Amino acid sequence: MKKGQVCEGVVRRVDFPNKGIVDTGEGMAVVKTGLPGQKVKFIVSKMKNGKAEGRLLEVLEKSPLETGHPCSHFGLCGGCNYLSMPYQEQLAIKEDQVKRLLERVLAKQDAPWQWEGIKGSPAEYEYRNKMEFSFGDEVKDGPLALGMHKRGSFYDVVTVEDCRIVDADYRVILKTVRDYFEKSGVTFHHKMNHQGYLRHLLVRKASKTGEILVALVTSSQNPWTGTGRAREDVESLVAGFRDSLLQLEKEGLLKGKFAGILHIINDSLADVVQSDHTEVLYGQEYFYEKLLGLKFKISTFSFFQTNSYSAEVLYETVREYVGDIDSSGANDKVVFDLYSGTGTIAQLMAPAAKKVVGVEIVEEAVEAAKKNAAENGLANCEFIAGDVLKVLDEIEEKPDMIILDPPRDGCHPKVLPKILNYGVDRIVYVSCKPTSLVRDLEVFLEQGYVVEKAVAVDQFPWTANVETVVLLGNRL
């Protein structure tokens, strides 16, 4: 194979994250996207160390595993990868991906370890509690679209009115907002020239309480750029957006209820949801969710697991891996929860520990964690805002156990030596990207730790993502 060559082959397996290993009969190639058993056509985009990497052109034959899909957008929207397969087949693929990655690194370990398979999500569909929809168009100069990016495209947006990983309230809200702004003639924000008004629609809904938080994200520009219409009408435009949503609740078209409706101004050049200024149009900037008997206050940008149902499975697994922190019942142990987010894990550990210290770089998440702990009556939780790399040098207390739940790229390389210096007997590592996990595990293994057991948890049905929980023990 050579660069630019068009080839055909059969996908033999899918490696994380979503890398189809294609057998052409003359060699193997890595092609992004694809399902085991599919016959595909691809173009070789890169040759690296004699290995071919390709871009999918066409699926020539379906996989025998594909038995249909319940979403009209599948294949066009870039959100889901495995929706055309039975859920159990998807779980098998993810389990195989994680297990093979772990086996590769743990081949260097001279102690036995236990693989505990994969735990599926209690909700296979309509599980998301947060969505960031983008404004745009599906084709150049086409009608206004609001939804997800088209597969393989940075610019084109597909209106996903039939999306099945969210519940009906999301679908009704999305359609209402798109229709409202299409009639208003407002421009969307173009990523290339950074001109236009509408940017994103952020929708969060608590799966357990039913509370809904909606934020319209726009630029500060004139919504009717190039139309000659004055920007003095912005206030009535935004008020109309709010009222169109409240009308849904008034007419009983929603199962949930609005906790807050916000208007966020964002003039950043980056295509991210962030706030230069936030105006509360209705209610408040937060809502409440419940997990495992605890109550959590979640604000607009607070990190919280996007699948509340599976989050309970994940956190119960962490609690199980921690075990009895002190079997004597003395509760005199200090636990560090690093990259603690809104402090969910820390609060779950608090009843069994003398003290739990959570460290998180996002200040808003730390403030939310403090308030959540107070509302849950947990006085032995301390939350520190700052970079884990720096904060570990400032904390005087020494942990008896460490729980790690880093972002997708894993722990900063300079953080790992500081964690290792504590020499704790147990470390529980929670990872949302197994390739980052195995890279960090190599460092732990080199310093005398061994993996005792590991399990995958499907937090994100139908997508290429998967969580992993690993228990490490210190042999030194």
In the residue annotation, 80 being an active-site residue is answered as no
Neighbours of 37 (CB within 10 A): 16
77, 80, 163, 432: which is the annotated catalytic residue?
432
Tell me which residues are annotated as active site: 432
